[in-house]
Every structure is written in C-alpha cells, then in structure tokens.
Chains A and B, each alone.
Chain A
Amino acid sequence: MNTKKIDDQIRDYYESQRPSPQTVARVKQMIGAGAPVHSRRRLWIGIAAAVAIAVATFIWTAAHRVALSPQQVATSVARQAAFGHNQKQELEFRVTNCADLQRQMKSLDFSLVEPAMMKEMNMRIVGARYATLAGEMAAQIFYVDAHGVPCTLYEARSTDQLARIAAGEHLIDGLRVAVWKENGLVMVLARPMA
C-alpha cells in the first residue's frame, strides 16, 4: 500500500483547490478599475439623496414660512420670547435708558423705541443683548418693574414673517407674553404672571 506523510497529503489537497477563472478575472477587473463599482454607485446615491433631502427641506421650509398664519407666527415668537426670558442670559450692554442703549447697539438695523407701556408700568431698563426673533435681528432688552421683578422685551423690525404677526397675549411657562406692534416695530414682552 502506498503511504505518504499526512502533511503532504493535506498540502496536495489544498493546493488542488483553486478559484474559478471567472472569479479571478472578475476580481482582477475590479482591482484594475481601482475601486468597487458598487461603492461609487453608493457614493452617488448618497450625494443624490442628500441633495434631494436638502431641496425637500428648503421647499418645505419655504412653504411652511408662507403658510404660517398670523396667529401661528405670534405663538412661535411668544414661545421664543418666553424661552429667552427663562434662560436668563448675560447682558451685553448695561444701561439705564433707551438712548444709551441705542448708542451702544450699533449693529441694529432699526432704531430702538421705548414702548409707552413700559413707562406706564414703571419699568426700568437695566441692559440688553443682541438676539433674533423669527430669524430677524432683534434687541433683547431687560427691564425690572417697581418690585424688582425682571421682564424681557424683544424689539425687531416688522418685516417678512413678523409683518403678519397677530397682536395678542399668550400664557407660556408661567409667563404672560404680550405681542404687539408699535412705531413700525414688533414688540414682545415676557413677564411673570402676577
């Protein structure tokens, strides 16, 4: 009986195993092409999907902006003002009157107005910071009332979405938020409920 070392037989067995010529040709073609075809396709599909999502988001946002009713704009702005009030952000400008504030907030594209209501309520200005309201540049002005209770007033130009805002009062997060227009500006005042 012929015998042979088992390792030699194992070696002969595995060396007789070969990939099919078609597989070798396919793999060599892929190597020659430089990168897997499906990877490039996936890349293009990814780019196309990203562009489609961006376009859809833009269209939706544009439609949404147009479709917002005056009441919806007011609610959205009131929520933003309530959030801004509760955040208790740091003052950028410390002033005691509106004229000083106007001089310091040079980047504003409108002139600040001190609402008549603030004087009637004995509100005292303490400072302000730059902010945005519905995407428009705004001044976030901090007041305190006669009892030292802080209030926050937003002022912004009445353009774009804000031009269609509905005046009214909103109760949000324990705050009373008043929205109105005055001297061509949108005013939003957030103050704690009494």
Chain B
Amino acid sequence: MRTRIVKPAEQQHEVPDGVDALLDRAYRYAFSLAHDAAEAEDLLQDACLSILASGGPWERSYLFATVRNRFIDRYRRNRKILFLSLDRHDDREEDQPAELNWEAPDVLRNGLLDRALSLLRAEERETLFLAVIEGYTAEEIAELTARPRGTILSLLHRTKAKLRQLLGKQQVLP
C-alpha cells in the first residue's frame, strides 16, 4: 500500500472553531459598509488574507477592524469620498424628535428597507449595524471607529431619524 508522506509545508492548519459564524458576521459588517454583495465578499476575503499574512487572531473585533481598514484603503485608492465630517449638522432630520425603535409596517418586502439603507452614508449604515445587529455600545463603536462617544450617539440618533424619513417617503411613492 502506498502511503503519501505529507511534508510540513503541505500540512493543513486547523480552521478555528466557529469560523463560519465569524465569517458571516464579518461579511454582514462589510455589507453594511459597502452595501454591495460583491464588494462585501471582496472586503471579507481581503481582510482574511491580511489576517493570515500578519498572523493576527481570528476574533470578531480584530476581523471587524481589518475589514474596516480594507474598506477605507480601497475607497481611498479609488478616490471616493468615504466618510464625511461628522461634526457637520446639516441634516434637517436631526431636529425632529424621533423614536429610536418605532413600529413600522413591513419594510422588508418590496425592497423598501434595502433602498432606504442604500441612501444612507457608509458611516451611518455602519453605526446602525454595529448598534442594532452586533449590539455594540456607543463606547465600543467609538473605539472601533476612532470617534468620540458623543459623536456616535448623535450619529445613531440622526441615522434612525433619517431612515424613518426615507422609509416614509418611499412608502408614499407609487
């Protein structure tokens, strides 16, 4: 019987436990930034390559930070405006009182929510995603995005208000 001797270089490394769930979460975070499935897959793959090359840990916070860095690098390279100054107060919605978790009709159907999210800025979607889906506190979002905690709280409030207004507008459209 022939036995194949596996050379050290060919040895397979063990895939960390829970990597499927981690990849799903990182993909969703990438999707929240890019709002494009193909772009999110590229970001995820780039981030994983970067972690492999650096030997970094397979942890959510590290993977998220790497995805974010890759996103910024990519858009900087493409000379696209990525994040606007968060110190601007030019959103009219900000002044309107907004319930942060309101009862809404089914906005998943007909792609209403998808369209409304596509109209948000990257940092708005990112903050919404981290707070609502990942359950990050304002402190944790501030740490990941290197912004003051107060700015994050204000951004989250404005984003919710903006989303509500966008959904309201779309629902009355034919």
Contacts and interface: CB of A to CB of B under 8 A. Distances in A.
A89 interface: no
Nearest to A24: B23
B92 interface: no
A3 B105 contact: yes
Chain A interface residue bracket vs B:
20 to 34
Interface in A1-31: 1-7, 9-15, 17-20, 23-24, 26-28, 30-31
A30 B16 CA distance: 12
B41 interface: yes
Chain B interface residue bracket vs A:
35 or more
Interface string B125-145: 000110011000000000000
B152 interface: no
B45 A23 contact: yes
A3 B108 contact: no
A62 interface: no
Contacts, number: 105
A30 B49 CA distance: 8
Nearest to A13: B113
A130 B132 CA distance: 75
B32 interface: yes
A26 B45 contact: yes
Contact of B32 (A7, A14, A20): A14
B102 A5 contact: yes
Given A2-B106, A15-B28, A27-B44, A10 B53 contact: no
A135 interface: no
Contacts of B104: 3-6, 9
Interface string A133-168: 000000000000000000000000000000000000
A35 B8 CA distance: 13
A31 B48 contact: yes
Given A9-B113, A10-B132, A19-B23, A2 B52 contact: no
Given A15-B133, A31-B58, 13 more contacts: A3-B105, A4-B103, A5-B104, A6-B107, A6-B160, A17-B28, A17-B37, A18-B27, A19-B24, A19-B44, A27-B23, A32-B12, A32-B13
Interface of A: 1-7, 9-15, 17-20, 23-24, 26-28, 30-36, 38-39
